[in-house]
Amino acid sequence: MRISGARVTRPDVLRGVSSADFARRLVGRTVAGVARRAKTICVHLDDGQALLTTPRFTGALLFDVPADAYTCLSLSLAEGHELGYRDVRRLGTVTLVDHEGYRRFDARLGVEPLGESFTGEVLSGILRGVSTPIKKVLMEQRRIAGIGNIYANEALWLAGIDPSRRGSSLTAAESGVLAGQLREVLSAAVSARGTTFRDYRDASGGQGGFAAQLQCYGRGGLPCPRCGRRLTETHAIDGRSTVFCHQCQR
């Protein structure tokens, strides 16, 4: 689709480009493709540029959803379509990079867990010699791209692995199980269009449905679905909520 107009109403979400340059570089360009890299939505243009949107906690890139007070910018597309970025707390970022800028962005990120190249053997290699807790390693985007706190919790629970264990302590077999569970959790979340507790919205403005499938995250103090023991919640690992079962996860 061809971009016929660009409007920026909340310029503080832009990074590395002014509102005027943002519009000038986009108008007249055609969308060549849309992809995801790590936690960033990448809109690739016909001239080699890429519009990179990282929504973080309250942002959403919305297609044909009417603008409101929280809409930060919008693009007018062919045949009357609109692409808008909405962010309640404006914690997300939007930038526009050329081919070399995209290459540098991509080079800073690790392997994609939903990619064909991600295997137990690859994960085992990533963890070799790593002394930090396995849950923290899973969320380090330079090692493995795209895994957030919710999905790290869920995959570790499903794999039966204590989130505080050193990454290097996992055996090859455990790495294989964990790699498989990461793929399963992420695939299920994609099918359910994400996880909504409060602000998250999918591209159509709807809520994600994966919260109904959560086994441990958000369930601290409740019985473990597997063994019945009370789930423990802590913020000891990197200050993020970690929920796990002392009985099931070793």
pLDDT tens for each residue of 186-242: 999 999 999 998 888 999 999 999 999 999 999 999 999 999 999 999 999 999 999
User: How high is the pLDDT of residue 199?
Assistant: 84
pLDDT tens for each residue of 27-49: 999 999 999 999 999 999 999 99
Could you give the CA distance from residue 74 to residue 71 in angstroms, rounded to a whole number? Answer: 8
Percent of the chain residues past pLDDT 90, beyond the cut: 98
Please tell me the CATH code under which domain 120-244 is placed. Answer: 1.10.8.50
Domain 120-244 in the same topology as domain 3-107? no
pLDDT tens for each residue of 116-160: 999 999 999 999 999 999 999 999 999 999 999 999 999 999 999
Q: Provide the residue ranges of all domains of the chain, joining segments of one domain with +.
A: 3-107, 120-244
Please tell me the CATH code under which domain 3-107 is placed. Answer: 3.20.190.10
* CB-count burial class (<10 Å; 0-12, 13-18, 19+) for 69: exposed
Mean pLDDT of 53-82: 96
Q: What is the pTM of this model?
A: 0.94
The DSSP output letter for 157 is H
User: How high is the pLDDT of residue 131?
Assistant: 97
Closest CA to 200 of 149, 157, 134: 149
